[in-house]
Structure 1
Amino acid sequence: MLDLKSKFQRVMLIDDNTIDLYITSKIITKNNFGDKIDKYTSAIKALTFLNENQVNFNELPQIIFVDIYMPQMSGFEFMLEYDKLSADLKKYCKVYIISSSIDKNDIKRANDDLNIVAFQVKTITKDFLESISSEQK
């Protein structure tokens, strides 16, 4: 009997591009990666949600995928604010930068941020999701 239970209860996607949000959520669903997918087109709104639910772990995503280039608040600006959240939240939520950028400075900046697990060029793949699942066991 195959176990079709998703690997994570909640996954948060933050990307101003609704097509990318749709494609990424479909890949996550198809690969049984997340039961519930919280989609945000605004990093500010996603941050507000995280801030309001810092102690409510049932509401928090275990995995956060965030784009770099977005209006109002970029992925890197989001990470500066994310760093101010509780240590328990940061231990529970694992952040991955998902970007169409291949700029070496962006990749270095992501790799230098202790709150970012990894940098992945869009679009996410089944292999990438499997690598996260095996890391989080």
Structure 2
Amino acid sequence: MQLVQNKCLNANDPVVVVDDSVIDLTITKRVYARSELKNPLLTFTSGGAFLKHMEAVQNGVEPVPALVLMDINMPELNGFETIRELRSVSDFSKIPVIVMLTNSDSDQDLERSLEVGANGFQTKDFDIARYTEFFNSLAAE
């Protein structure tokens, strides 16, 4: 299976979700399991934990993510700061797709997301059918 955004991805590459809300992550896991995506799902509750994982990726211990969904509003290291830090590492300047996942539909948040290196912006949608469709839209045709 390949993701539409980057057809050279290995089906074994994980989809990563970074969100400090345990409730949001629980919903995401359930929706993801119902979706057509078969990539492994990894979740992190902080930008710092995600960046630590990415050190293992850089060292070749873990595979490069196929997709990263990053919450914007997190304590300590928010989504913007996490993406900026990730993109500052040359090995990660071209991670296939990074989408900011947020409750905000602010044009300012969209612009800032793109400025720090996100490839897209998606508001959180906890209507189960629409959220499942979002994941299905990422599956290979």
What's the TM-score bracket when you normalise by the shorter of the two chains? 0.7 to 0.9
Cα drift, residue 75 of structure 1: 0.1
Name the TM-score, length of structure 1 as normaliser. 0.79
1:22 aligns with 2:26: yes
Q: Distance between the aligned counterparts of 2:52 and 2:20, measured in 1?
A: 16
Alignment partner, residue 121 of structure 1: 123
* Pair 1:61 & 2:65 matched: yes
CA RMSD, aligned part only?
Answer: 2.4
Following superposition, the deviation at residue 26 of structure 1 comes to 1.5
Detail structure 1 runs of 4+ shifted over 6 Å in the superposition.
none
Q: How far apart are 1:21 and its partner, in Å?
A: 0.6
Aligned mates of 2:119, 2:61 — CA distance in 1: 20
Shift in Å at residue 103 of structure 1? 2.0
CA 1:99 to 1:73, structure 2 compared with 1: closer, same or farther past 3 Å?
same
- How far did 1:44 drift? 0.4
Structure with the bigger percentage of strand:
1
The number of aligned residues is: 129
Give the whole-Å Cα distance in 1 for the aligned partners of 2:2 and 2:125: 20
Answering whether residue 90 of structure 2 is matched by residue 86 of structure 1, we say yes
State the structure with bigger RCO (CA 8 A, min sep 6), 1 or 2.
Answer: 2
Distance verdict in 2 for CA 1:83–1:6, change over 3 Å: closer
Find the residue that maps to 1:91 and give its secondary structure: coil
Residues 56 and 62 in structure 2, CA contact (< 8 A), matched pair in contact too: no
Q: Deviations over 1:40-72 (max 9, x none)?
A: 101101011112321528533211110000001
Q: 1:130 aligns with which of 99, 117, 136?
A: 136
- Alpha-carbon spacing, 1:117–1:56, altered in 2? closer, same or farther (3 Å): same
The gaps in structure 2 that reach 5 residues or longer are 4-10
